[in-house]
Structure 1
């Protein structure tokens, strides 16, 4: 019975938390131990929690924000690619990696405030953001709050709500199944894992975010909304996000999944880099407006 439960935990964790894919494991690590770099890693107290972060490169600031159940190290392909082009700033979000949890109810609101606090701590006047999955949600929330001056955002695999109108049913069911397992483990007072932490991360996935569509109209930053055509997020929902941001572009990548950033890093990084480098355009194909 325990083996079956452990297999379910592994399966659900892989689906919903973006653990290392087979392709990530096959590729050798870089010389720099991203996420565990004792030479440059730092802690700062933000909103009552110790938040761990690292910085690489010089120039215009670029925040790279990881997804649920992940950490700095899982964004290594983007850090390695962009640290020769930008001042790359990466952090373990609250309750992830080396950063403290310090709450009984983890929310995207809190994580967003933490990232805004880090930007303030570093005195960043203007910045760009690449956010993957939960990181994309946080990036959009930062743009909506406008407490940080943001030039451009790339949000990969983000969603506005947690239900099946936004997220494919298999993922919704996986989260529900994992919730039941975690709640059972907590009732049994099992100590093999930090079940309270898992519960709070699942709360992000299963009960959040709850971003009103109309809030997207508050975004003044230029945004690229990305997803794989076989993403966890429904293609229709990705289009919905794109259509409601004033200055947005859309990229649904053929033959890609929610983990395109690690499965096809060269491809994904090239798209992100092109968006950051080139002037923003949102051309109009309405031929009826064209002069004769």
Structure 2
């Protein structure tokens, strides 16, 4: 089973990064200056806005299958390379709150009104933080494999990261952050679908508690899947999102 640590390490060390898979997606649509840094992004489709956020060490290419599905279904899909990742210049230090603020300023600068947001792994952490820092920025949200604090991961996953002798800046962030609580989740007022694979790198109880503390939260555990398998170049998550959007009139 592919786990979070394996994915993140391969990506940040360049050892067969999952984001290096050949892409049929359009070239980068633009670069925007936000929060003191540059963010590369692509846009596909027309309709209600949807923002997709990738995981640690990845890029917009990881979510290309989902991007195509949503665009074909009639949504305008923005896919962002998070700070220091993808086509952006690497940084020496990372923090989730900076990334959440990046997203807020991106939305504001491009004039995007109340988008739906889907975040996978770190992208899910950033989406939750965005709503805590800037309430009601989005219309609704979905997360996959998000965690509120490092020990929300399976113990062996957390121990593997801590054992690294020279952690990269991205890995160090995962070891030390994020720093949210279940109580914080009660402040998120938009609908949130909280997903994880049955064999995820995140503790199932952690995922369930995130959902149960969000007033309009809903949990979904995907049978037979891990942290990556139903997301990366897979149509399953796109189908789930389209159904969820329809259920919420989006």
Which category of TM-score, normalised to the shorter sequence, fits these structures?
Answer: 0.7 to 0.9
The answer to whether structure 1 residue 126 and structure 2 residue 114 are counterparts is yes
- 1:219-234 matches, cutoff 5 A: 219-234=188-203
SS, match of residue 81 in structure 1: helix
Q: TM-score, normalised by structure 1?
A: 0.76
The answer to whether structure 1 residue 32 and structure 2 residue 18 are counterparts is no
Cα shift readout 1:74-114 (whole Å, capped 9, x = no counterpart)? 11111111112211001110110112345x43100000000
Shift, 1:152, TM fit = 1.0
* Contact 1:18–1:259 (CA under 8 A) maintained in structure 2: no
Q: Which runs of 4+ in 1 moved over 6 A?
A: none
* Contact 1:12–1:175 (CA under 8 A) maintained in structure 2: no
Distance 1:243 1:140, change over 3 A: same
Distance 1:174 1:206, change over 3 A: same
Aligned counterparts of 2:99 and 2:87: Cα–Cα separation in 1: 14
Distance 1:246 1:13, change over 3 A: closer
Match of residue 96 from structure 1: 85
Q: TM-score, normalised by structure 2?
A: 0.88
Cα shift readout 1:181-201 (whole Å, capped 9, x = no counterpart)? x26xxxxxxxxxxxxxxx210
Distance 1:264 1:30, change over 3 A: closer
**Equivalent of 1:267, from 236, 244, 248?**
236
- 1:140-219 matches, cutoff 5 A: 140-146=128-134, 149-163=137-151, 166-178=152-164, 180=165, 182=166, 199-219=168-188
**Which structure: larger Rg?**
1
Match of residue 238 from structure 1: 207
**Equivalent of 1:252, from 212, 221, 233?**
221
Larger CA deviation: 93-102 vs 263-272: 263-272
5+ residue gaps, structure 1: 1-10, 184-198, 281-292
- 1:5-44 matches, cutoff 5 A: 14-17=6-9, 19=11, 29=22, 31-33=24-26, 37=27, 40-44=28-32
SS, match of residue 150 in structure 2: coil
Cα shift readout 1:215-256 (whole Å, capped 9, x = no counterpart)? 111111100000001000000100110110000111001100
Aligned counterparts of 2:232 and 2:87: Cα–Cα separation in 1: 25
5+ residue gaps, structure 2: none
* Contact 1:16–1:175 (CA under 8 A) maintained in structure 2: no
* Contact 1:130–1:154 (CA under 8 A) maintained in structure 2: yes
Aligned counterparts of 1:119 and 1:111: Cα–Cα separation in 2: 13
**Higher helix content, 1 or 2:** 1
Aligned counterparts of 1:175 and 1:240: Cα–Cα separation in 2: 23
Aligned counterparts of 1:91 and 1:264: Cα–Cα separation in 2: 16
Structure with bigger RCO (C-alpha 8 Å, 6+ apart) = 2
